[in-house]
């Protein structure tokens, strides 16, 4: 039986993670945060009506962006990091210069509350999840909206571009996960299997499968080559999964749930890696974010109004390690002693894996 790495009691920080900074300033809960593609900045939208631009690795606030004061849910950096797209309750997508904090003249009237935004890898296209049942996409070069992609029967809760930028995956309150081809504008796959709302989806780094999460705490894996489910991950609770992402090197999968945790798995053998406590929230359009090229992670804390920056490099070192060989050696040594094997075995394991 494999054991889960223990979490030291001090500050509830799990073994393998080190907290670098706490970013404070938002007065209300934070939405879907996003690193710039060069990893130098972090944008945080919030219900307090502002977007804050941070230098997260030094713990500094750079700019506060404020428009009309409406709640802001999603942001997306252009691939060149020169523009930040912002979606909010005011049913409009606005664009900002993150270097100066100034609002740009371009904007798109959506007609729906915007939950999330994502630029395509090439930077030409911008996709939105919203209270609309359709997938909404804009051509940023021509500054026009494409014909919406129809198929979901309820609101689109998240959208994710494939790493090559040719396809998009969407989740919806209709429980389906759909995959769309940008060039043909056709739906390539419809994956049914979630019991209720599908809330978030992530592409595997090699683009061969998807991982999605739903409103009942279930993760599912979808084979894009065979057009079928691979296997469901063992369910760990009944709380909604609101965010899933692979680390920049693909070695970790992280999952944020409304049970106030972010959990990590090693992708080479799907061994559980760590569990990071967060504050309890009922806000579903929230998340966390892996750094695009280094072993850093941004998560939320407090009343979901602060950001915590983590170094998880030691967790990557631990992926090639396990306590079992160490325990086997100790068990053999203890076996050579008289009469106390079971007592010492239990003492050692309890010490190593205590909560």
Q: pLDDT, tens digit, for every residue of 223-248?
A: 999 999 997 777 778 899 999 999 99
Q: What is the pLDDT of residue 322?
A: 52
Q: Are 67 and 75 in contact (CB under 8 A)?
A: no
Question: With a cut of 70, which residues of the chain have pLDDT below it?
Answer: 1-11, 320-355
The whole-number pLDDT of residue 12 equals: 74
Q: What SS3 state is found at 259?
A: coil
Residues 264 and 257 sit within 8 Å (Cβ to Cβ): no
333, 355 contact by CB (below 8 A): no
Sheet holding 114-119, edge to edge: 114-119, 125-130, 136-139, 144-145
The rounded radius of gyration (Å) of the Cα atoms in the chain is 22
| CATH fit for domain 10-319, picks 1.10.10.60, 3.40.50.2030, 2.130.10.10, 2.40.10.480 | 2.130.10.10
Q: What's the burial of 214, exposed, middle or buried (CB within 10 Å: 0-12/13-18/19+)? A: buried
pLDDT score, position 80: 98
Under a CB-based contact definition with an 8 Å cutoff, are residues 54 and 44 in contact? yes
Provide the 10 A C-beta neighbour count for residue 303. Answer: 14
pLDDT of residue 235: 78
Classified as helix, coil or strand, 141 is coil
Written as six digits, the tokens of 148 are: 């919406």
Residue 320: its pLDDT value, please?
62
Q: Would you state the pLDDT for residue 336?
A: 54
Residues 284-339: pLDDT tens digits? 778 899 999 999 999 998 888 999 999 999 999 877 655 455 445 445 555 555 44
pLDDT, residue 187, reads 98
Name the pTM for this structure: 0.86
213: CB partners within 8 A, 6+ apart: 198, 199, 200, 201, 219, 220, 240, 241, 242, 243, 244, 255, 257
Domain borders along the chain are 10-319, 322-355
Parallel, antiparallel or unpaired: strands 18-23 and 34-35:
unpaired
**Alpha carbon distance 35, 303 (integer Å):** 21
Task: For the sheet with 84-88, list strands across it.
Answer: 72-77, 84-88, 92-97, 102-109
């Amino acid at each position: 039986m494999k054991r889960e790495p223990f979490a030291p009691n001090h500050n509830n920080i799990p073994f393998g993670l080190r907290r670098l900074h706490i970013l404070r300033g938002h007065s209300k809960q934070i939405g879907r945060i996003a690193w710039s593609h060069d990893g130098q900045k972090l944008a945080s939208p919030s219900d307090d009506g502002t977007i804050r631009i941070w230098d997260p690795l030094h713990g500094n606030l750079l700019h506060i962006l404020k428009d009309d004061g409406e709640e802001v849910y999603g942001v997306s950096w252009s691939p060149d990091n020169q523009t930040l797209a912002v979606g909010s309750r005011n049913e409009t997508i606005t664009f900002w210069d993150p270097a100066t904090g100034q609002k740009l003249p371009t904007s798109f009237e959506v007609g729906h509350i915007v939950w999330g935004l994502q630029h395509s890898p090439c930077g030409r296209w911008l996709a939105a999840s919203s209270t609309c049942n359709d997938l909404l996409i804009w051509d940023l070069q021509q500054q026009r909206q494409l014909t919406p992609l129809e198929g979901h029967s309820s609101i689109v809760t998240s959208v994710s571009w494939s790493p090559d930028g040719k396809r998009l995956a969407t989740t919806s309150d209709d429980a389906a996960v759909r995959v769309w081809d940008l060039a043909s504008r056709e739906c390539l796959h419809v994956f049914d299997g979630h019991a209720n709302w599908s809330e978030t989806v992530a592409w595997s780094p090699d683009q061969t499968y998807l991982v999605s999460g739903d409103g009942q705490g279930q993760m599912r894996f979808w084979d894009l080559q065979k057009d079928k489910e691979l296997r469901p991950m063992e369910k760990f609770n009944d709380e909604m999964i609101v965010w899933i992402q692979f680390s920049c090197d693909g070695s970790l999968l992280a999952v944020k749930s409304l049970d106030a945790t972010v959990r990590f798995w090693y992708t080479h053998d799907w061994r559980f890696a760590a569990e990071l406590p967060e504050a309890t929230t009922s806000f579903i359009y929230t998340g966390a974010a892996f750094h695009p090229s280094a072993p850093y992670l941004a998560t939320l804390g407090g009343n979901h109004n602060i950001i915590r920056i983590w170094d998880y490099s030691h967790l990557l070192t631990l992926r090639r390690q396990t306590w079992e060989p160490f325990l086997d050696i100790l068990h053999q040594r203890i076996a050579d002693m008289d009469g106390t094997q079971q007592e010492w075995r239990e003492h050692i394991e309890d010490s190593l894996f205590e909560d």
